[in-house]
Structures are given as structure tokens and as C-alpha cells.
Amino acid sequence: MKYLKTLKIELVKGEYKNPIKGQVKEPSQIYDVFKKIKDKAQETLIGVYLANDLQVNAYDVLSLGSSTETDVSPDEVFSRAVITRSPYIILIHNHPSGNAKPSPDDLKVMKSLQAGARALKKTLLDFIIVADESYWSMFEEMDGGEYALGPIE
């Protein structure tokens, strides 16, 4: 006799503390929470998942790569959004080189993930790159203002 396996999902406390009270309004708030990834020797990709009211539901380390790149799996990114019932996604990763400017690969991944998010009725709200003492934000580059003003198209 064979038994079916059950899926067990458990949310646990992570290493990053969330000082954001209420709605996330701008990229600098997310940067302040996750800025210590700048010190990691490997590129690290973190997904931050937000509720309809733009409050943080959860985050997850999605990928650890080399000193110059990391893999991004759309399945990993979007499955977390579905599991946490989060309509908004912010991705944040570091550039160990110290340069916050997005690479051509970063730009390609951003466009691909935006299309995937739309197909799933999710919104890739931002893609933040953390470097030595600063960050780059897709949202600020494209639209600026506060997240509450709407998603980037």
C-alpha cells in the first residue's frame, strides 16, 4: 500500500528584523532591513512578499550564487508569492563588486519576471540592488515616488 505525501509549509523567524511599522512606502525601507547582504561574498537573492496593504508578509532567501552572479528561478520567486498569498513582490540582491548599477543580465531578468508576475496576477513592485554604501531601485529609476502610487509597467 502506498501513501500520499503531504506538503508541510512552515514560516519561521528569519535573520533579518523588520523595523517597518505598517505599509512599506519606499525602497529605502527595504534597503534598511536587508542592507547587510552587501557584506556577503556571494550574490544573494531575497524575495520580499507583501500583502494588499503593502505590509511585509514574509521574505525568503531564494538563491546564493558566485561573486558575480546568481540564478533566478521564476518558479521559486512566484511559488513563495502564491504560498504567502502575496500580490506584491520585491526582489533584493547584492553586488559583491560594490557597484549598484544593474548588469545587462539583471535588466533581462527584471523584464522576464515582470511579465511572469503579470501572467500570475502578481506585481513585481521593485528590484533592488545593494552595493557597498548605496542601492539601486528599479522602482525609483522608472517611477519614483512612493510604492502606494502603483506598480511599474
In the chain, where are the structural domains located? 27-149
Q: Are 49 and 59 in contact (CB under 8 A)?
A: yes
Rounded CA-CA distance 126/147 in Å is 9
CATH of domain 27-149: 3.40.140.10
Query: pLDDT tens for residues 84-101?
Result: 999 999 999 999 989 999
Query: How high is the pLDDT of residue 8?
Result: 73
Rounded CA-CA distance 136/132 in Å is 11
Query: pLDDT tens for residues 127-137?
Result: 999 998 899 99
Coil, strand, or helix at residue 90? strand
Is a pLDDT exceeding 50 seen at residue 76? yes
Average pLDDT over residues 60-87: 87
Query: How high is the pLDDT of residue 6?
Result: 65
Q: Measure Cα distances from 18 to 9, 30, 38 in Å.
A: 21, 9, 17
Stated pTM of the model: 0.86
Work out the mean pLDDT of the chain and round it to a whole number.
87
